[in-house]
Chain A
Amino acid sequence: MITAERKPMEDLIKFVSPYRRILLVGCNECVTVCSAGGRKEVALLSSALQMHFMKEGKPFEIKEMTLERQCDPEYVEELVPYIDQVDAVLSMSCGCGVQEIARRFKEKPVLPAVNTKFMGASERQGVWAERCVGCGDCGLARTAGICPIARCSKQLLNGPCGGSTRGKCEVDPDIDCAWQLIWDRLKALGMTDKYEENLPAKDWRPARGAGPRKIVREDLAS
């Protein structure tokens, strides 16, 4: 999923201060799963902002909405009946949803309530970790199913570097050394000979090397 984290309240208060009526929009997809911007978080942020402005004695109205998906125009369309009743939109979705609202409602300010972080997986309750950078040319078949680009601090395609210590990364002992993980798995798979195949320099064009990316499925495109 795409993971995110709520911005500090100080920033959010600054963002919405110029406005009296706010539409706070959550998203039912990734940010719900990582507890950053789903229905629950929308309610909590709404409560916190209201309480803050009550304390300040500032008139402040907030309308809460949580869309099925903020990155799909069909769902964003659901905001139409409410958009004229507010001065700005505060979005709790990832950056994709924020931009979809900006695209649809050209004259309405839209503000991000979360910092979009990374594509990751849940390691355990309340913990998410980066797994994929979306490089556009998946090499997991060559690295035993563990991505060194996303998970090695130096994105070494031929690691590990000299800083790998007891399975941990030199940058932070909380980070597993990706190449230790790859090696352990190669061993478990009986494929250690694969380690000595040097992986060539990566072509970054499918990543972001050729500008913003787009997928067009002719069979589906309208």
Chain B
Amino acid sequence: MKTESTLEKILASGQLAVTSECGPPRGALPSKVQEKAEMLRGCVDAVNVTDNQTAMVRMSSLAACILIKQMGLNPLLQMVTRDRNRLAMQSDIIGAYSHGINTMLCLSGDHPHFGDHPGAAAVHDIDSIQAVEMVKKMRDEGLFQGGQKIDGPPKMFIGAAANPFADPFELRVARLAKKVKAGVDFIQTQCIYNVDKFEKWMEGVRERGLHEKVYILAGITPMKSAGMAKYMKNKVPGMDVPDDVVKRISGVPKENQAEEGIKMCLETIDRLKNVKGVAGFHIMAIEWEHKVPEIVERAGFLPRPSF
């Protein structure tokens, strides 16, 4: 075991892991974090805390992680390379670890262009792959990125994202291989609606034996409505929503669309449970956190193992 991370323990035990996320509030009210996180108690192994998602200012991921940690849950620190240079990132990482936060996710982050501060400079001192290398070096060699020794290195279980649906598709397995080479421990994927394409990607992953080097958590986001399905299909970059998904949810009366969305995501989970190399699920119920316990239960993931 590389770390004390509960997520690592569960994944290492061979059981399917379940994670979910909590988007911090756009303000200083701790109760907003606590209420969202409380819904996830007992039904997930780690709670991803997003880092200024969609390039909108929110409570810092680190602060929200500490609040969640204090509740006795396992926060997962998301960190984008967009807002901080390598100094700031490393200081936040050791700061997080000093609070017992031992699991994190390295991302490049949405471009500021999409957010509420479009005039902000995008930092991108390093990229997500270099961030993984940096965190691994901090953990395994006890050295800062600059080469100096760390007094009390942070032992982070290191995650990264993968989008099997972005272009060029032929590069998507290779990019995962780069992350594996950088030293990533686990992957959380983009929301999966095009299951066929995801399975094709997994085939490529297995061909190269990458599934034996990294735990892959399949990203799942239930559709709330036909409107959301259309929005995801047309407006969200890098999202692949096939026509029949939109058709199916549009085909039921409005009041039943939410339930249909849940059913669809449960069917996806069911299908992917049997795909070799899928080590768990990352359930991102966007502004719909209270549905996560139900999804986890109906998917047969309860109770969660404890270590």
Contacts and interface: CB of A to CB of B under 8 A. Distances in A.
Nearest to A162: B163
B174 A154 contact: no
A47 to B, nearest CB: 35
Contact of A201 (B109, B134, B238): B134
Interface of A: 153-167, 170-172, 177, 179-180, 183, 195-196, 198-202, 204
Interface residues of B, number: 35
B238 A157 contact: no
B40 interface: no
Contacts of A161: 108, 128, 166, 238
A162 B163 CA distance: 5
B151 to A, nearest CB: 22
A154 B127 contact: yes
Contact of B145 (A156, A165, A201): A201
B70 to A, nearest CB: 32
A158 B127 CA distance: 7
Q: Nearest 4 pairs between A and B by C-beta?
A: A162-B163, A170-B237, A158-B129, A163-B237
B124 interface: yes
Among B108, B163, B177, the one with the most A-chain Cβ atoms within 10 Å of its Cβ is B108
Contact of A198 (B181, B237, B238): B181
Contacts of A204: 125
Given A156-B124, A157-B130, A159-B127, A165 B167 contact: yes
A156 B178 CA distance: 13
B104 to A, nearest CB: 17
19 contacts: A154-B111, A154-B124, A155-B122, A157-B130, A158-B128, A158-B129, A158-B178, A160-B166, A161-B238, A162-B165, A163-B237, A171-B111, A171-B113, A183-B168, A195-B178, A196-B177, A198-B181, A200-B133, A201-B133
B175 interface: yes
A204 B123 CA distance: 12
Interface string B148-176: 00000000000001110111100100110
A180 B181 contact: no
Contacts of B129: 157-158, 198
A164 B130 contact: no
A170 B238 contact: yes
B124 A167 contact: no
A154 B130 CA distance: 13
A90 to B, nearest CB: 28
B238 A162 contact: yes
Contacts of A156: 108, 124, 127-128
Nearest to B164: A162
Interface in B116-146: 122, 124-130, 133-134, 145
